[in-house]
Structure formats: structure tokens, C-alpha cells
Amino acid sequence: DSGVTQTPKHLITATGQRVTLRCSPRSGDLSVYWYQQSLDQGLQFLIQYYNGEERAKGNILERFSAQQFPDLHSELNLSSLELGDSALYFCASSGVKGYTFGSGTRLTVV
Amino acid sequence: DQQVKQNSPSLSVQEGRISILNCDYTNSMFDYFLWYKKYPAEGPTFLISISSIKDKNEDGRFTVFLNKSAKHLSLHIVPSQPGDSAVYFCAASESSGAGSYQLTFGKGTKLSVIP
């Protein structure tokens, strides 16, 4: 158990819909990162939050947004979903104990 | 443009032999490199890392070598075991600290260790 909790594990939704993925970081970690892994692709960095503030942005679409709450959990919101958004979405957290990943949410857009 | 490249999508090795996974990078600002192992339906698990001030780091059966002039690193697993079968991702960062930094990943190499 990495200490990073992601829910739900699986999500199936239709094109055009909106979903929210949730991540609880490992205890003590202030940074949360979101990554996307599409078929045959490595993990692509989307966005990072540190103690509630956006710290860095990667290849995140405008249809996607995220936030980190005062209790440090984070949510990734994906809207106007397209077939190509089907992927594994990983959350990671980091702190003095290093960098660790959750087990991911598999999103399928049909 | 891919800044971290793993040019071998797959690798098969006999049990007991050495597995060598390769990774190349283009960004000279990267100063911290990591290898992650990933099983299906699980998140990536940290395996081993190396800072740019070193050229070798060893942890049990796993050794990572860094050649900064060639912008190349490799992961050696010896002896290879069937349980090592997984996808291995190379990752790089511009920060070597344990604090806040983003990782740039390669596309991964699927290692199959044949009993």
C-alpha cells in the first residue's frame, strides 16, 4: 500500500459527460500530481498542487481542471469527455518520504 | 518532442540472466533519474534512482548506470527472476530533492523473464 488512495478504480461514462476523480495523498505529503497514461504511452504529467496552490502545469487540456482542498485531497475534473480521454489517470504525492503513486483510475469513455 | 525515450518497447530474458533496460534523455537540465516498475492494474512502484552527481547506484539485484555525456542511463537486473516481469518506466526530473518536482516519463519497456 503506497498510502495514496484514488477513487473510483474504474469509471465508464459517455462522450460529452463530466467526471471527477479523487485522490488522497500519503499522510504528510503536501504535493499532489496528476498523470495520464493513454494506450502505448508513458505517463504524461498533467498538473501539480502544493499545499492547496497550483504549482506546475503540464499537458493538461482546457476541458480538464483540478484543485487541492484544505485537507490536501485533490480532485481532477474532466468535462466534455471524448473517446480519446479514455486512459489511466494516476495521482502521486511527494514529501520527505519521496514520491509515490496511487493505483490509478481507469476511465473508459464510450 | 519526447524528452525521455525508451526505444525498446519489450525485452525477453531467461531467468537467471541479466536484464538491461535502456533510457535516453534530451533535456540537459535533468539532474535526477528514477526507474519505476509497473504491474497491470497497479500504480508505478519506485525501484531505484540516481542523482546526476553519480554514475552508478546499486540496490540489491538492481543497478542504475548514468552516462551524462551520452545522456543515457540503463537499469541492470541480475539475476533476473520471473517476478521481475513488468513494465519498467524511466523518469527524469530537474530536481533531486524529495520535495516538490514533476517527473517526465519514457513510454516504458515491457520485460518478460522466461523461467
> At residue B100, does pLDDT exceed 80?
no
Residue pLDDT, tens place only, B28-71: 999 999 999 999 888 999 999 999 999 999 999 999 999 999 99
Per-residue DSSP letter, A12: E
Nearest-CA residue of chain B relative to A36?
B105
The set of cell numbers assigned to A2 is: 503506497
Q: How far apart are CA B49 and CA B87, in angstroms?
A: 16
Q: With contact defined as beta carbons under 8 Å apart, do A102 and A34 qualify?
A: no
What value, to the nearest 5°, has the Cα angle with vertex B27 and ends B24 and A33? 95
Q: With contact defined as beta carbons under 8 Å apart, do A76 and A20 qualify?
A: yes
CB nearest to A40's CB, from B98, B103, B107: B107
- What residues of chain A, 60 to 99, have a C-beta less than 8 Å from chain B? 90, 92, 94-99
Nearest-CA residue of chain A relative to B38?
A103
User: Which residues in chain A have Cβ-Cβ distances shorter than 8 Å to B21?
Assistant: none
Q: pLDDT grade, residue A59 (50/70/90)? A: confident
Pairing of strands A87-95, A105-109: antiparallel
Q: How far is A83 from chain B (nearest CA, A)?
A: 21
SS3 label, residue A85: helix
Q: How far apart are CA A33 and CA A45, in angstroms?
A: 8
Q: How far apart are CA A22 and CA A25, in angstroms?
A: 10
> At residue A16, does pLDDT exceed 90?
yes
**8 Å CB contact of B4 and A56:** no
Q: With contact defined as beta carbons under 8 Å apart, do B22 and B11 qualify?
A: no
Q: Specify the pLDDT at position A51.
A: 93
Beta-carbon-side half-sphere exposure of residue A55 (alpha carbons within 13 Å): 18
Q: With contact defined as beta carbons under 8 Å apart, do B106 and B92 qualify?
A: no
Query: What's the mean per-residue pLDDT of chain B?
Result: 93
Q: How far apart are CA B79 and CA A92, in angstroms?
A: 30
Q: How far apart are CA A32 and CA A66, in angstroms?
A: 10
Residue pLDDT, tens place only, A22-51: 999 999 999 999 999 987 778 899 999 999
